[in-house]
Amino acid sequence: MVNHVERFAPSPTGLLHLGHAYSALTAFEAARDAGGTFLVRVEDIDTTRARPEYEAAIFDDLAWLGITWEQPVLRQSERFGAYQAALDDLKVRDLIYPCFCTRKEINAAMSAPHHDGSATGPDGPAYPGTCRALPVDAARLAHAPYALRLNMRKAVASVGGAGIVKKLSFKELGKGPNGERKKVNLDPGYLIESCGDIVLARKETPASYHLSVVLDDAFQQITHITRGQDLFAATFIHRLLQALFGRPTPLYRHHRLITDEAGKRLAKRDDARSIQAFRADGATPEDVRKLLGMRT
């Protein structure tokens, strides 16, 4: 059996649109052509937004596109224990801290005159660090909502510091948004200054996208990750988390983004572009492939 395991990891918080179809078809075909395995993982970690109707619609669209996948499907809602164990591990290593800031407070701190708000990572501007050095306050922890943030500077130090981080790389089989190809090295300055202390868990979501995706890809022994170039910057964080947790690094294939006629990236809320809408209009799977510029 060839060691080629791909996954498509939709969040059941909306309908699949053309961009998702492109990711899913590209990953599925890469696995099939290599004689490997294709998995679908339901990223239903945000239990406030995930809906069973969307999950059913996603499965239905994937099957309609001609995609088949292994059963059973893994749902992130079954993995909360694993995420908690990873957070406990980071806590013991003193690499995470609770952050009580509201979005409003963060925005206010970033618009303060001394703050250089220029650095932006995949989750937006880097957190200004207000709660980083707070003394432990058990009463506040018990009563106030908080997020858990990774202390990025310490995390980089713990995988060996800037020199080693530069040696951490991932192999790009596709292309990054700036034409990055082949071997992509991690940039410690980008991680510390631009990504900053990213959120790894919140009260309502027990693991962030970055944490859950890294743990789940390792758990499912994914060898190849196919996804859009919009997630290229997130891959730097994922590579660092893999190093922190001692997990293997898959190969990455970031693909071009599917845009509308105006060149705007498609979003879940563009329901008019959903696969369901194309189907309702009588489109065939071949029509969708043509629209995506794929072989029919």
Distance CA 137, CA 67 (A): 51
Return the bridge partners of 38, or none: 6
Choose, by CB under 6 A, the member of 79, 210, 224, 227 that binds ligand GLU.
227
Return the bridge partners of 255, or none: 228
Residue 185 CB, shortest distance to ligand GLU, in Å, is 20
Nearest to 46 by CA among 277, 273, 274, 268: 268
Distance CA 185, CA 50 (A): 35
Using rule CB under 6 A, residue 11 touches ligand GLU: yes
**Closer to ligand GLU at the Cβ: 97 or 232?**
232
**Closer to ligand GLU at the Cβ: 109 or 231?**
231
The set of long-range contacts for 142-147, using a CB threshold of 8 Å and a minimum separation of 24, is 144/100, 145/100, 145/203, 146/98, 146/99, 146/100, 146/203, 147/98, 147/99, 147/199, 147/201, 147/202, 147/203
- Contacts of ligand GLU in 18-77 (CB under 6 A): 43
Choose, by CB under 6 A, the member of 4, 5, 6, 9 that binds ligand GLU.
9
**Closer to ligand GLU at the Cβ: 58 or 191?**
58
Distance CA 296, CA 285 (A): 9
Using rule CB under 6 A, residue 98 touches ligand GLU: no
Using rule CB under 6 A, residue 249 touches ligand GLU: no
Distance CA 222, CA 61 (A): 23
**Closer to ligand GLU at the Cβ: 56 or 134?**
56
Stretch that binds ligand GLU, among 9-17, 47-55, 113-121, 165-173 (CB under 6 A): 9-17
Choose, by CB under 6 A, the member of 10, 98, 121, 122 that binds ligand GLU.
10
What DSSP state is assigned to residue 230?
A: G
Distance CA 201, CA 83 (A): 9
- Contacts of ligand GLU in 179-218 (CB under 6 A): 213
Stretch that binds ligand GLU, among 7-15, 65-73, 111-119, 168-176 (CB under 6 A): 7-15
Stretch that binds ligand GLU, among 6-14, 155-163, 178-186, 281-289 (CB under 6 A): 6-14
Using rule CB under 6 A, residue 172 touches ligand GLU: no
Stretch that binds ligand GLU, among 4-12, 107-115, 130-138, 271-279 (CB under 6 A): 4-12
What DSSP state is assigned to residue 124?
A: E
Using rule CB under 6 A, residue 250 touches ligand GLU: no
CA 254 to chain centre: 12
**Closer to ligand GLU at the Cβ: 99 or 207?**
207
Nearest to 213 by CA among 222, 294, 244, 165: 222
Q: Footprint of ligand GLU on this chain (CB under 6 A)?
A: 9-11, 43, 213, 227, 231
